[in-house]
């Protein structure tokens, strides 16, 4: 199942809405809460792979911060890191798209679910480019066979940072015979709205409500 | 008439007579009793009689009392005598036998002797005396003196050469253990000359009981001849017989044939007798012509006047005949008759068919051996007078007739020549025809011959059930019958229809349209030609491939290198409705190239042929953009003059095509040097191009002449011709009396194609499939291989400059796809498109019923890989009795899209971020191409990644253009629409990955597939 949760227009609206709390458009961030249903994988020893790679290198600068990682599974805590990645998944990870491969790979014994907050920021928001940078989440078993994905890239989820916004691609397979959604991605509330952006916030909020209403 | 004696013979005879006449006869008072026989070998080794003996005779006319007389014996040299006393009276002419010592040998007792003595006599030499008292002599050698003249002596015989005493000139001839010495005249002759009066002979003891022999009664015994009454001979086989004659009182001295002289009958070895009663011997020799002759031989003696005796010998000389010869005996289980050269007679048969110079006859009483034919041709040299149905007896000479002469590769036909024909009866039913196929004899369907090592007449095994050439030979001259025959070739100009029996039930690979395929290993021996030679002037009905004949009968014959059935009546052809094929027309981006051998086309052929071919080109071939023509003749065809120009021929064809609704073609051709390119004398056949200028353009490069050799030129990495059109190596000996390949450059859809049209050396001169030499020698192949090598080298000179050059080789290559010559061209990187067809569709020519490929189109590697060639042989001629040419044309459609156009400025490119697939170790993503213009962008779409980072590979590239990989997407892209293509990179060193994007509409030229 491929479910495009948010397209460019929606992302732009979200950017506007979130920007109300960031103080300015240039300083805006885009955050999402991501929950992954791994109930069909519970107990399986595998790996979590997070990448933040540009389409071409060099690319318009962008950062992604993964925080608030919560799970009833078990992280191995011995990650393999490529490129510009700082921190650890247990606390906070900061990715930059400064090299071709920016990746964090850690062993993981799956529980029923895990979740995290991801926040995107950087020049890509103010210098729109048609060449994207993608944050991807992939699950593997110990032999690197992809788990829970339909995508050729093997990722369950990607956020394409393109043309000044974010496009979310859900390429995950459903869970179990009940065909339960594997992913739940929701916009995360911005913590510090910017006064200069009130009007934009209002516009974006109205638009988002309309969009979500249509989706429902 | 008797031949006179030679003068020397007369002299000899006179001398003998004079000698005897001068010898005085010995006659004393008691001298009428004489020793008539002496035998000393009795009881010795090799003797028949157990005893020696002495025989007396009373030669006189009055009785003589022997009582008191004695016979005495002394050895050859001594004068010591042993004696046997005699008693009794001897009557005139009566014999008197005196038995002497017995020996260990011998098996027969003497007749009852009158007196028994015990004297052991020598078998070879000694002395015998008949004495009128009983006193032993004391004479007889040089010491004791001669006994001759002794008063008591009645007769005396010295026998053997060493006898010391004898009467007359010498002793008798030497006797032996198996011979005695006998006085001539059965004892009567007594000239007192032991040497002349006695002869050695088989012992013949006579006693008093023997028939009287009155000596005085015989005054002039006749010459007695001894000859066989008859003497038989056969022509060619000499015979002889010994003849002889004796004369009891004379010497036979000559013999001669007195009947009419006969060539081949003569006397030889005449050996005259040398003694009285001796035998003259001679040999009668016979080696004469057939006939019966009465030969008379006259023997003569030495008497004056001479006496003679004649014997008559009935000489019969029979012809050298093979008695009771059957046709099958003449045919034998072989390709030639075992009786060739021999005279045969009384060969019986029923006349089954007539020709202008002979007739076929067949035995009505066949045997069960299928290997020996029951039919034969009787060669009369003029129109035969017999009628079909006549029962005849034929005598003549068995011969093998080989059309084309002794060196020909044809099989020979067994026939009876110089025949003497006796018609026994008329109106007889014909012998039953042998069914060929189901219910009869089924011909081999693959093997023509698998065991000969040269001539089948002198090597290999005659396999009438497994080898096709032997199978049909075993039916030579016989009536055969086919049921539900199907034509595998059309009726030819020679009035022949190739067929197989039973609707092809036993036939090998059949063509898709009803013919039969000749392959590398299958010459189709199950096929045979029906021929109208025996019903001429009736011409065989027209048949096309697949037509049926419910039933047909005829006589098996052989001519022009193959077996045929001479039908005895017109055949009823049932049409199968074979239709001429129509190929698919090319589309806008397909370049259609055709090849057509138009069979000696020239203006004198008339409008019908031109219009027919034009209609075929337009309607059946769908007007190919380029046509490679072969067998274009000059403007006056077979008129053998200096004209070589073919402009009228070509323009006439072009006009006809246009009139038929086709395009107005242009042409390119190079006139040959007069009479240098083979083909029909005077015709100056050549190859050439027609092209449709509305679709293709010809690149002319000046300088091409009949003798200018073309070459490949490197033009900035692209191959081009030094001249166009131009001939390939035209002065090479490989092209002596053969067509020179013509090359030309064409442009279509912005792409260049170099075409080479060919007409290789013909197959004329090859030995026939059903010829006597197996496997057949393909002598014509030598020149074709040379030509193919030259063309292949030229192709390689082009590809060496530009590996992706588009080359098309086409035309009548006069050989099969599996032949050495085609293999050579294929090895130059060319694909023979006929091999893309199913095996039962690979033919453009039907030769004596064999469907086979002589015409080919081959394409270079780039065309094969990128132009999706669609090849078709358009069957419009070879299978039809009515044909414009003997070849089918062929067409290939090559998809050649226009070169790609750069549309980068009309699109918006967006590239998504890459994700490393940990399993495949590939960076994957997508690229989106959005048409930002107002018009659709035509496909295919080429998305090229230029300046891709070193160390990075686009692993899902469709190809590489100008050093940069690209991905091909399907177009078109409508205005505002987006084409999304996947990307996959290998970046093992994780180098910064970057590239520029170029977008093209159309197909790259050339399109090179990336190596796998």
Q: What is the pLDDT of residue B326?
A: 96
- The chain A residue lying nearest B926, using CA atoms, is A55
Q: What is the pLDDT of residue B304?
A: 66
Asked whether the whole model's pTM tops 0.80, one would answer no
Q: What is the pLDDT of residue B1003?
A: 83
- The chain B residue lying nearest A82, using CA atoms, is B990
User: What average pLDDT does the structure give for chain A?
Assistant: 79
Residues of chain B in contact with residue A56, where contact means CB-CB under 8 angstroms, are: 911, 993-995
Q: What is the pLDDT of residue B252?
A: 92
CA of B866 to nearest chain A CA: how many angstroms apart? Answer: 29
Summarize pLDDT for B138-153 with one digit per residue, the tens. 999 999 999 998 999 9
Summarize pLDDT for B921-969 with one digit per residue, the tens. 999 999 999 999 999 999 899 999 999 999 999 999 999 888 899 999 9
Q: B166 by DSSP, 3-state: which?
A: coil
Yes or no: say if B888 and B955 are a contact pair by the CB < 8 Å rule.
no
Task: Using CB atoms, pick whichever of B919, B992, B994 lies closest to residue A146.
Answer: B919
Judge: B992–A82 Cβ closer than 8 Å, yes or no: no
- The chain B residue lying nearest A154, using CA atoms, is B917
Looking at chain B, the whole-number percentage of residues with pLDDT higher than 90 is: 88
Least confident of A55-69, B288-302, B558-572, B850-864: B288-302
Q: What is the pLDDT of residue A153?
A: 76
Q: What is the pLDDT of residue B321?
A: 55
3-state secondary structure string across B468-508: HHHHHHCCCCCEEEEEEEEECCCCCCCCEEEEECHHHCCCC
Q: What is the pLDDT of residue B219?
A: 53
User: Which of B908, B909, B911, B915 would best serve as a mutation to test chain A binding (most A beta carbons within 10 A)?
Assistant: B915
Summarize pLDDT for B798-837 with one digit per residue, the tens. 999 999 999 999 999 999 999 999 999 999 999 999 999 9
Q: What is the pLDDT of residue B323?
A: 53
DSSP state of B771: S
- Has residue A2 got a pLDDT over 80? no
Contacts of B115 (CB under 8 A, 6+ apart): B84, B85, B86, B87, B88, B96, B97, B98, B99
3-state secondary structure string across chain A: CCEEEECHHHHHHHHHHHHHHHCCCCCCCEEEEEEEECHHHCCCEEEEEEEEEECCCCCCCCEEEEEEEEECCEECCCCEEECCEEEECCCEEEEECCCCCCEEEEEEECCCEEEEEEEEECHHHCCCCCECEEEEEEEEECCCCEECECCCCCEEEEEEEECCEEEEEECECCECCCCECCEEEEECCCCCCCHHHHHHHHHHHHHHHHHHHHHC
Residue that wins the pLDDT comparison between B773 and B62: B773
3-state secondary structure string across B51-100: EEEEEEEECCCCCEECCCCEEEEEECCCCCCEEEECCCEECCCCEEEEEE
Mean pLDDT of B731-739: 98
Confidence band of B1005 (pLDDT split at 50, 70, 90): low
Residues facing residue B910 across a β-bridge: B928
Summarize pLDDT for B480-504 with one digit per residue, the tens. 999 999 999 999 999 999 999 999 9
- Has residue B93 got a pLDDT over 60? yes
Mean pLDDT of B639-667: 98
Q: Is the ipTM of this complex over 0.90?
A: no
Q: Name the pairing type of β-strands B230-234 and B308-318.
A: parallel
Q: What is the pLDDT of residue B21?
A: 31
Task: Using CB atoms, pick whichever of B925, B984, B987 lies closest to residue A55.
Answer: B925
CA of B975 to nearest chain A CA: how many angstroms apart? Answer: 19
CA of A107 to nearest chain B CA: how many angstroms apart? Answer: 14
Summarize pLDDT for B260-319 with one digit per residue, the tens. 999 999 999 999 998 878 899 999 999 998 899 999 999 998 776 788 999 999 999 987
- Has residue B1006 got a pLDDT over 70? no
Q: What is the pLDDT of residue A12?
A: 37
Least confident of B5-9, B390-394, B465-469, B741-745: B5-9
φ/ψ of residue A155, rounded to 5: -80, 145
Q: What is the pLDDT of residue B1009?
A: 41
Judge: A153–B925 Cβ closer than 8 Å, yes or no: yes
Q: What is the pLDDT of residue B739?
A: 98
Residue B669 is encoded by which pair of tokens?
């051709």
Does B226 touch chain A if contact means CB atoms closer than 8 Å? Answer: no
- Has residue B564 got a pLDDT over 50? yes
- Has residue B526 got a pLDDT over 50? yes
Confidence band of A177 (pLDDT split at 50, 70, 90): confident
Residues of chain A in contact with residue B932, where contact means CB-CB under 8 angstroms, are: none
């Amino acid at each position: 199942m491929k479910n495009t949760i948010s397209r460019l227009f929606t992302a732009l609206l979200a950017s506007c809405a979130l920007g109300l709390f960031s103080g300015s458009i240039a300083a805006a961030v885009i955050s999402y809460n991501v929950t992954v249903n791994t109930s069909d994988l519970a107990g399986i020893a595998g790996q979590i792979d997070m990448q933040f790679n540009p389409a071409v290198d060099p690319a318009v600068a962008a950062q992604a911060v993964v925080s608030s990682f919560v799970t009833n599974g078990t992280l191995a805590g011995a990650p393999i890191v490529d490129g510009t990645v700082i921190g650890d998944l247990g606390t906070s990870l900061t990715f930059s798209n400064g090299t071709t491969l920016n990746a964090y790979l850690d062993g993981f014994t799956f529980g029923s679910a895990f979740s995290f907050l991801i926040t995107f920021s950087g020049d890509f928001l103010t210098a729109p480019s048609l060449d994207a940078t993608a944050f991807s989440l992939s699950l593997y078993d110990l032999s690197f066979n992809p788990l829970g994905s339909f995508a050729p890239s093997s990722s369950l989820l990607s956020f394409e940072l393109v043309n000044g916004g974010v496009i979310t691609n859900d390429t995950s397979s459903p869970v179990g015979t009940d065909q339960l959604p594997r992913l739940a991605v929701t916009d995360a509330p911005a913590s510090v709205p910017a006064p200069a952006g009130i009007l934009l916030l209002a516009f974006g909020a109205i638009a988002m409500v309309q969009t979500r209403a249509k989706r429902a | 008439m008797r031949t006179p004696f030679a003068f020397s013979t007369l002299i000899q005879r006179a001398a003998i007579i004079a000698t005897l006449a001068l010898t005085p006869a010995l006659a004393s008072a008691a001298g009428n009793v004489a020793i008539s026989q002496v035998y000393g070998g009795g009881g010795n080794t090799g003797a028949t009689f157990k005893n020696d003996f002495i025989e007396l005779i009373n030669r006189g006319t009055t009785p003589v009392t022997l009582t008191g007389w004695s016979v005495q014996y002394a050895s050859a040299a001594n004068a010591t005598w042993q004696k046997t006393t005699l008693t009794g009276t001897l009557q005139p002419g009566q014999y008197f036998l005196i038995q002497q010592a017995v020996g260990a040998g011998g098996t027969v007792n003497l007749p009852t002797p009158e007196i028994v003595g015990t004297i052991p006599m020598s078998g070879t030499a000694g002395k015998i005396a008949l004495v009128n008292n009983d006193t032993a002599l004391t004479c007889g050698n040089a010491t004791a003196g001669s006994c001759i003249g002794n008063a008591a002596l009645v007769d005396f015989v010295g026998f053997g050469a060493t006898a010391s005493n004898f009467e007359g000139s010498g002793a008798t001839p030497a006797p032996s253990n198996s011979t005695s010495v006998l006085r001539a005249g059965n004892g009567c002759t007594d000239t007192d000359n032991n040497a002349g009066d006695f002869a050695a002979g088989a012992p013949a003891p006579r006693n008093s009981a023997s028939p009287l022999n009155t000596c005085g009664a015989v005054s002039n015994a006749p010459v007695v001849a001894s000859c066989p009454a008859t003497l038989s001979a056969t022509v060619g086989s000499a015979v002889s017989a010994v003849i002889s004659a004796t004369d009891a009182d004379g010497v036979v001295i000559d013999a001669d044939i007195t009947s009419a002289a006969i060539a081949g009958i003569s006397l030889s070895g005449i050996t005259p007798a040398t003694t009285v009663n001796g035998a003259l011997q001679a040999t009668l020799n016979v080696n004469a012509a057939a006939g019966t002759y009465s030969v008379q031989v006259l023997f003569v003696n030495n008497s004056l006047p001479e006496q003679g005796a004649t014997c008559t010998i009935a000489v019969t000389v029979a012809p050298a005949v093979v008695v009771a010869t059957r046709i099958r005996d003449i045919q034998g289980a072989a390709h030639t008759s075992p009786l060739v050269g021999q005279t045969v007679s009384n060969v019986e048969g029923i006349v089954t068919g007539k020709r202008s110079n002979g007739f076929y006859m067949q035995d009505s009483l066949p045997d069960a051996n299928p290997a020996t034919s029951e039919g034969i041709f009787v060669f009369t040299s003029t129109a035969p007078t017999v009628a079909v149905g006549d029962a005849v007896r034929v005598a003549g000479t068995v011969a093998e007739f080989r059309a084309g002469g002794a060196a020909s590769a044809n099989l020979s036909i067994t026939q009876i020549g110089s025949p003497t024909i006796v018609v026994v009866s008329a109106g007889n039913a014909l012998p039953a025809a042998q069914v060929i196929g189901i219910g009869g004899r089924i011909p081999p369907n693959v093997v023509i011959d698998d065991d000969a090592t040269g001539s089948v007449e002198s090597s290999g095994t005659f396999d009438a059930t497994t080898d096709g050439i032997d199978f049909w030979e075993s039916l030579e001259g016989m009536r055969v019958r086919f049921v539900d025959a199907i034509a595998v070739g059309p009726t030819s100009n020679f009035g022949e229809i190739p067929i197989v029996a039973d609707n092809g039930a036993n036939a090998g690979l059949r063509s898709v349209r009803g013919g039969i395929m000749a392959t590398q290993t299958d010459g189709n021996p199950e096929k045979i030609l029906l021929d109208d030679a025996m019903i001429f002037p009736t011409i065989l009905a027209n048949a096309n491939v697949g037509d049926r004949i419910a039933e047909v009968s005829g006589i098996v014959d052989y001519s022009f290198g193959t077996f045929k059935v001479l039908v005895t009546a017109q055949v009823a052809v049932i049409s199968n409705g074979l239709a001429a094929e129509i190929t698919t027309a090319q589309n806008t981006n397909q370049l259609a190239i055709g090849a057509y051998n138009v069979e000696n086309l020239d203006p004198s052929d008339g409008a019908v042929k031109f219009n027919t071919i034009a209609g075929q080109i337009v309607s059946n071939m769908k007007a190919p953009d380029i046509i490679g023509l072969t067998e274009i003749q000059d403007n006056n065809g077979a008129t053998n003059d200096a004209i070589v120009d073919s402009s009228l021929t070509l323009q006439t064809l072009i006009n006809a095509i246009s009139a038929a609704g086709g395009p107005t073609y242009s042409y390119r051709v190079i006139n040959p040097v007069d009479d240098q390119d083979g083909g029909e004398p005077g015709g100056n056949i050549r190859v050439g191009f027609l092209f449709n200028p509305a679709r293709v353009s010809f690149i002319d490069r000046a300088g091409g002449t009949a003798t200018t050799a073309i070459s490949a030129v490197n033009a900035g990495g692209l191959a081009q011709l030094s001249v166009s059109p131009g001939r390939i190596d035209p002065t090479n000996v490989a092209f002596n009396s053969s067509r020179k390949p013509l090359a030309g450059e064409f442009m279509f859809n912005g792409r260049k194609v170099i075409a080479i049209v060919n007409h290789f050396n013909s197959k004329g001169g090859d030995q026939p499939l059903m010829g006597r030499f197996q496997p057949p020698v393909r002598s014509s192949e030598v020149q074709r291989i040379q030509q193919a090598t030259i063309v292949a080298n030229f192709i390689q000179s082009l590809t060496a400059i530009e590996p992706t050059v588009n080359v098309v080789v086409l035309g009548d290559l006069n050989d099969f796809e599996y032949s050495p010559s085609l293999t050579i061209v294929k090895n130059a990187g060319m694909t023979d498109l006929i091999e893309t067809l199913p095996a039962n569709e690979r033919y453009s020519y039907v030769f004596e019923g064999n469907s086979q490929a002589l015409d080919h189109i081959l394409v270079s590697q780039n065309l094969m890989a990128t132009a999706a060639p669609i090849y078709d042989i358009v069957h419009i001629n070879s299978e039809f009795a009515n044909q414009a040419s003997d070849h089918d044309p062929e067409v290939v459609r090559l998809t050649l899209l226009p070169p790609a156009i750069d549309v980068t400025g009309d699109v918006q490119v967006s590239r998504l971020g890459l994700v490393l697939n940990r399993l495949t170790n590939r960076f994957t993503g997508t690229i989106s191409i959005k048409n930002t213009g107002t018009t659709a962008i035509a496909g295919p779409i080429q998305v090229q990644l230029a300046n891709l980072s070193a160390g990075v590979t686009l692993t899902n590239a469709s190809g590489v253009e100008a050093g940069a990989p690209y991905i091909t997407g399907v177009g078109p892209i409508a205005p505002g629409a987006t084409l999304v293509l996947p990307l996959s990179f290998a970046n093992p060193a994780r180098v910064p990955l970057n590239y520029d994007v170029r977008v093209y509409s159309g197909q790259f030229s050339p399109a090179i597939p990336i190596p796998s």
